[in-house]
Amino acid sequence: MRIIDVTRPVFTGMPVWPGDPPCHCGWSSRLPGDGVNVAELSFGAHTGTHMDAPLHVLEDGTRIADVSLAACIGPVHVVDTGDAGELDADWLAAHLPSGCERLLLRTRVWLDATRFPETWPAFTPGAARLLADRGVRLVGTDAPSPDPADADDLPVHRILLGAGIPILENLLLGDVPGGAYELIALPLRLAEADASPVRAVLVER
């Protein structure tokens, strides 16, 4: 068994979605004078590798604490997007493995961990509907979003989250070969939030 950490490191000043709260990792107490080290963290719920819950785009949507944990653990397929830019229903039909329960896209758009990508391969609404129709339980990407960068209304988010499909974003998949794995990606039990950072790992057996 091999465990592959696909979580982006969280650090002060790391790139976040434009307009989101900045990330700061500091200290409220330090050794030796304070007797203990106590880290102090400040960042938005969508920082780094994180999971979106339906509440992110739906007024009465499920909060992140109530997302089904069964969707967050289980068989997953990593699919490389290659040179594709727009991932439409035809592309998805040709690349979605049979019986796929969870799908992660390897786009490799984070060429520099200190610079937010300007564009990335993204699903069309038709592809999102196909994912829901095929019974996919979770969708993830190593890009900042399954929607295009300029999608103000986030139609792919609305379709997936409206179907109860949580979304993982900003995974670290650059060195992960495409194929079948086991996924563990658990959000924090934040009772009032629309999203949460996760520690995501793939298990290769």
Residues assigned a catalytic role? 56
Residues 6 or more apart whose Cβ sits within 8 Å of residue 75: 101, 102, 180, 181, 182, 183
Residue 139's nearest CA partner among 69, 41, 72, 39 is 72
Task: Measure the CA–CA gap between 133 and 130, rounded to whole angstroms.
Answer: 5
Task: Measure the CA–CA gap between 90 and 152, rounded to whole angstroms.
Answer: 24
Residues 6 or more apart whose Cβ sits within 8 Å of residue 32: none
For residues 37-50, b (16+ Cβ closer than 10 Å) or e, as one string? Answer: eeeeeebbbbbbbb
Residue 56's nearest CA partner among 130, 142, 160, 161 is 161
Task: Measure the CA–CA gap between 67 and 195, rounded to whole angstroms.
Answer: 10
Task: Measure the CA–CA gap between 186 and 205, rounded to whole angstroms.
Answer: 20
Task: Measure the CA–CA gap between 168 and 202, rounded to whole angstroms.
Answer: 13
